[in-house]
């Protein structure tokens, strides 16, 4: 078990944790994922009959390894090293206004602003969109989900970058109605 976990990258572990969080927030009770030799079964509540879940032998599981969490600085000033404090700051994104409507991720996964690397983005800053317009793709396990704007208006802020991993409900764009 420990050797199998050692083969996972940090990004893959974060995706599994995000999958667990998504399952916890959803109305789905069980998920079974088989990818080659990697098998993951998640669930909440009693197991339904017919789900192929091997019995758990807790004696064969390793003891959980202690996790070191990053230190949280006491103040924002303590968080920045002296060199970074004097470096020029990149302009902050504008704060959402009352008439800005969020376009949120409908699933967790990898955000893509364009249908393929050689195509222009689905939408750009300042462009008008209709509710049914596709504004991006979110990829989950090689399945690409087209995300509609859901609102009509002008794109006033793009909140994520191409190929970022996004969470369920994370704001991707703001549209001014």
At 154, which CATH number?
A: 2.40.50.100
Spell out the alpha helix ranges (H) of 30-108: 76-79, 82-86
* Residue 70 belongs to some domain of the structure: no
pLDDT score recorded for residue 1: 44
Greater confidence (115 vs 32) lies with 115
Q: Which domain holds residue 16?
A: 2-47
In a domain, 159, yes or no: yes
Average per-residue pLDDT for the chain: 77
What tokens does 30 get?
């069980």
Is residue 151 assigned to a domain? Answer: yes
Domains held by the chain: number: 2
Higher pLDDT, 109 or 7: 109
Q: What is the pLDDT of residues 69-119, one digit of tens each?
A: 455 555 455 445 555 555 555 556 778 888 999 999 999 999 999 999 999
Is there a single domain that holds both residue 43 and residue 106?
A: no
Q: Does the pLDDT value for residue 65 go beyond 50? A: no
The whole-number pLDDT of residue 114 equals: 95
- Answer yes or no: pTM beyond 0.75: no
Domain assignment present for 152:
yes
In a domain, 39, yes or no: yes
Is residue 55 very low, low, confident or very high in pLDDT (cuts 50, 70, 90)? low
Q: Please report how many Cα atoms fall inside a 13 Å half-sphere around the Cα of residue 172, on the Cβ side.
A: 32
Using CA of residue 108, residue 8, residue 24, residue 144, what is the dihedral sign? positive
17 domain-assigned = yes
């Amino acid at each position: 078990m420990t050797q199998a976990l050692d083969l996972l990258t940090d990004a893959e572990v974060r995706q599994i944790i995000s999958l667990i969080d998504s399952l916890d927030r959803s109305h789905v009770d069980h998920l079974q994922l088989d990818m080659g030799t990697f098998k993951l079964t998640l669930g909440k509540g009693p197991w339904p009959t017919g789900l192929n879940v091997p019995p758990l032998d807790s004696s064969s599981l390793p003891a959980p390894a202690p996790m070191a969490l990053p230190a949280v600085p006491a103040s924002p000033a303590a968080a920045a090293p002296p060199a970074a404090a004097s470096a020029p700051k990149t302009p902050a994104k504008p704060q959402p206004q009352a008439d800005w409507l969020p376009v949120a991720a409908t699933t967790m996964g990898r955000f893509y602003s364009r249908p393929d690397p050689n195509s222009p983005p689905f939408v750009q800053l300042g462009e008008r969109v209709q509710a049914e317009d596709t504004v991006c793709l979110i990829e989950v396990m090689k399945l690409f989900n087209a995300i509609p704007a859901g609102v009509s208006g002008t794109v006033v802020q793009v909140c994520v970058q191409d190929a970022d991993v996004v969470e369920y409900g994370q704001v991707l764009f703001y549209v001014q109605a």
